[in-house]
Structures are given as C-alpha cells and as structure tokens.
Amino acid sequence: MLEGCLGVLFRIFILGFWWTLISAFRWIVQYLIALFRFAWYGIEFLCQIPQQGFLKAEFQLRTRYHLLLNQELAAMYLTCRYRPWRLVPLVILVMFVTLLLFADDGR
C-alpha cells in the first residue's frame, strides 16, 4: 500500500518538475539572451577602445549596460504587476535548485 502511494507521489513530483522546467524555459532563455548580450557588449567595448578611445568606449558600454539592466528590470516588474502567476514556475525552479545545492547526503 505504501509503495503504491509513494509511487503516485513520485509521479506527481516528476510531472510537477517537468511542468516547472518547461514553464521556466521562457525565463531561462530570456536570461541566457541577456547574458550573451552582456558579454557581446563587453567584447565590442574591447574592440572599440583603439578606434574611439577608452573614455568614449566606456561611456557607450555603460549606456548599453544600463539600458539592458533597465529592460530586464522593467520586464520583471511588469510580469510581477500584471501576470504574477508566470513567476510561480521560476520560484519553484529556484527553490528546487537551491534544495539540490544545499542537500546533505549525511556523510
């Protein structure tokens, strides 16, 4: 009896995990794109130093980083304000990953 109950609970857990992962895929892709843009701006900065000088290239880099950060913060704010249910998979995924990172195997 207990094995059947644990099997059902395990299946529910697996389905919930996959639902969370698929739903959070949108967030994962969004932040990966932001990370690549962040890295690309850094590479462009290094390439523009010889052409424009350090100060002008640094100003352009800071402007781009601020714009990128503002875009991400605005997207998060708008999601929290108007569609808070979209944050549930992200929160569950963060909690699950945190649980995995801090799990102690008892050794």
Measured CA to CA, the distance from residue 84 to residue 75 in angstroms comes to 12
Hunting for tokens 């963060």 — which residue is that? 94
- What Cα–Cα distance (Å) separates residue 3 from each residue in 8, 10, 19, 47? 9, 10, 24, 62
Is the pTM value of this prediction over 0.75?
no
Which structure tokens are listed for 103? 């799990």
pLDDT at residue 11 in the model: 78
Per-residue pLDDT for the chain (107 aa), expressed as one digit of tens each?
A: 456 676 777 777 787 778 777 777 877 888 889 899 999 999 999 999 999 999 998 999 999 999 998 988 888 888 778 887 777 777 777 777 777 777 666 65
- DSSP letters spanning 27-72: HHHHHHHHHHHHHHHHHHHHHHHHHH-HHHHHHHHHHHHHHHHHHH
